[in-house]
């Protein structure tokens, strides 16, 4: 599968996908399929751990895509068992840039009562201080990943069972976590008390599955049962699902950007189709920011549902003004600088016959650095467009995310340093408008918009209001929003 968006360097990048299954023959095949469906959440590396009564725990980690690593019969033969978990990642914490194999999950730990493997989606915001403390007390870290702290905290716990130890470890952790873990016989799922990142439960035959998104249940033919609740831990055996809530309850703050961009459009989030939500965002955008034009074109593929919504609401025809080459992957553009410089043109081409002489509305999901928006604008004008209007399906991204999404430093975010008018000037377009934060909340089902006293979602990358203080980053000099901002 190609990267989820053709301009990976100018998008916020989700982070990780997790998947687990218990009670099925050849669990590793199911895990590989589930991870393949979650590949949009991380393309740099992946890993699978299984357990088989004869061979014990088996693990394989590889750099690259699931389809290139976890499809051969010989590889899958090394991962026997009826229980397994897996992880796909893009590096968010730990080593930046090129992922190191030692940072690839799932992580595995051997405890007095047996082994356990753990796969984490999210980011621990107090990992630095936890790590310092653990190292001082003798823990020897194998990776630079924040997630490894959980294994060491479990090792230090006096809990009698692995779920008990995990519970105790997670009570010390701050930030965002959706976790899938396993012992020899148990599949464990857990979400942080705010439920920032998604996690869903599925039923497959006599077995069960846990996944970051419902699209990963669909691919294995698993029935979607429900979402794991914020703050909930489930321990699943072949006898069924035991649920409890080990953390102090908090008001849920699910990541609103999952609705905008991260999750796949065919997934269901909070009982709502992601595709429909994105279409709603486009409709809201058309109401808030109308413009007289001839065509509504998406920046493919992530802008497509919002562009359809904009077109339906405005009555302006929808058209594929930009065509994406489905077969250009990251590997093709890596070898030389000159090829890399061709950048956007390698991946996208303008449908000239359609664009020439037209006033075009381009709908994209977000603007991060703005480098891609500029290039696309140039391509559209080169093709003879009369006017270019950007409509963006999220509010200006002005703050970094510290909850498991790779974001540039604040200074690199276009919206952190420029007003809307300055952005219009900088990008050289006829107009640019972003959906308002209230409009976005309405589109995700909050009819009254955003309640500033009790927002229903995490929206920190738009508002700078972090539901969990990013303590590691503050320690490293990050300046949180002041009352005057």
Binding window for ligand SF4 (CB under 6 A); candidates: 44-52, 66-74, 254-262, 418-426:
254-262
User: Residues 16, 255, 401, 458: which is the catalytic one?
Assistant: 16
Which one among 21, 256, 297, 308 touches ligand SF4, defined by CB under 6 A? 256
CB 165 within 8 A of CB 214: no
Q: Is 257 in the site for ligand SF4 (CB under 6 A)?
A: yes
Q: Distance between CA 12 and CA 366 in Å, rounded?
A: 9
User: Exposure string (b/e) for 367-400, b if CB count within 10 Å is 16 or more?
Assistant: bbbbbbbbbbbbbbbebebebbbbbbbbbbbbbb
CB of 408 to ligand SF4, least distance (A): 13
Coil, helix or strand at residue 168: helix
**DSSP 8-state code for residue 318:** B
Active site residue 16: yes
Which one among 458, 468, 470, 472 touches ligand SF4, defined by CB under 6 A? 458
301: cis peptide before it, omega within 30°? yes
Q: Is 459 in the site for ligand SF4 (CB under 6 A)?
A: yes
**How many chain residues interact with ligand SF4 (CB under 6 A)?**
11
Q: Is 413 in the site for ligand SF4 (CB under 6 A)?
A: no
CB of 130 to ligand SF4, least distance (A): 20
Q: Is 460 in the site for ligand SF4 (CB under 6 A)?
A: yes
Nearer to ligand SF4, 166 or 176 (CB): 176
Q: Is 93 in the site for ligand SF4 (CB under 6 A)?
A: no
Q: Is 170 in the site for ligand SF4 (CB under 6 A)?
A: no
Q: Is 440 in the site for ligand SF4 (CB under 6 A)?
A: no
Q: Which of residues 351-410 bind ligand SF4 (CB under 6 A)?
A: 401, 403, 405
For 437-467, give the DSSP string.
HHHHHHHTT-TT---TTS-SEE-HHHH---S
CB of 30 to ligand SF4, least distance (A): 28
Strands 207-211 and 200-204: antiparallel
Coil, helix or strand at residue 271: coil
State the residue for tokens 């669990």: 27
Q: Distance between CA 322 and CA 355 in Å, rounded?
A: 9
Nearer to ligand SF4, 33 or 458 (CB): 458
* Residues with catalytic function: 16
The footprint of ligand SF4 (CB under 6 A) covers: 196, 255-257, 401, 403, 405, 458-461
């Amino acid at each position: 599968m190609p990267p989820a968006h053709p301009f990976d360097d100018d998008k916020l990048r989700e982070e990780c996908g997790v998947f687990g299954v218990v009670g099925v023959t050849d669990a590793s095949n199911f895990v590989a399929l589930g991870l393949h469906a979650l590949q949009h959440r991380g393309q740099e590396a992946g890993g699978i751990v299984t357990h088989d009564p004869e061979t014990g725990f088996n693990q394989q980690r590889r750099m690259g895509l699931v389809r290139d690593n976890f499809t051969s019969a010989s590889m899958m033969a090394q991962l026997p068992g009826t229980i397994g978990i897996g992880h796909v990642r893009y590096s968010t914490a730990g080593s930046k840039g090129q992922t190191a194999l030692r940072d690839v999950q799932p992580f595995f730990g051997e405890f007095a009562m047996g082994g356990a493997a753990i796969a984490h989606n999210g980011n621990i915001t107090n990992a630095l201080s936890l790590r310092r403390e653990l190292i001082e007390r003798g823990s020897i870290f194998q990776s630079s990943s924040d997630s490894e702290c959980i294994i060491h905290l479990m090792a230090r716990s006096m809990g009698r069972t692995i779920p008990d130890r995990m519970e105790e470890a997670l009570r010390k952790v701050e930030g965002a976590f959706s976790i899938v873990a396993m012992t020899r016989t148990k599949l464990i799922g857990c979400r942080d008390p705010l439920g920032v990142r998604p996690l869903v439960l599925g039923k497959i035959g006599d077995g069960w599955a846990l996944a970051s998104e419902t699209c990963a249940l669909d691919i294995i033919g698993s029935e979607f049962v429900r979402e794991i609740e914020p703050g909930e831990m489930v321990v699943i055996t072949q006898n069924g699902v035991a649920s409890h809530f080990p953390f102090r309850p908090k008001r849920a703050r699910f990541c609103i950007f999952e609705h905008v961009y991260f999750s796949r459009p065919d997934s269901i989030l909070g009982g709502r189709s992601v595709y429909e939500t994105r279409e709603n965002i486009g409709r809201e955008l058309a109401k808030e920011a109308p413009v007289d034009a001839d065509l509504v074109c998406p920046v493919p593929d992530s802008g497509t549902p919002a562009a359809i919504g904009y077109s339906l609401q405005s009555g302006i025809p929808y058209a594929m003004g930009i065509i994406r080459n489905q077969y250009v992957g990251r590997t093709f553009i890596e070898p030389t600088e000159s090829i890399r410089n061709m950048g956007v043109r390698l991946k996208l081409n303008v449908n000239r016959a359609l664009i020439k002489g037209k006033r075009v509305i381009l709908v994209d999901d977000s603007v991060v650095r703005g480098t891609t928006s500029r290039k696309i604008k140039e391509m559209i004008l080169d093709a003879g467009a009369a006017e270019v209007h950007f409509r963006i399906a999220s509010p200006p991204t002005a703050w970094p995310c510290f909850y498991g999404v790779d974001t540039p430093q604040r200074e690199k975010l276009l919206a952190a340093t420029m007003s809307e008018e300055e952005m219009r000037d900088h990008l050289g377009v006829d107009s640019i408008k972003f959906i308002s934060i209230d409009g976005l909340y309405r589109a995700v089902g909050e009819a009254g918009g955003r309640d500033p006293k009790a927002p229903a979602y995490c929206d920190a990358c738009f508002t700078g209001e972090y539901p969990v203080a990013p303590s590691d980053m503050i320690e490293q000099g990050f300046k949180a929003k002041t009352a005057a901002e």
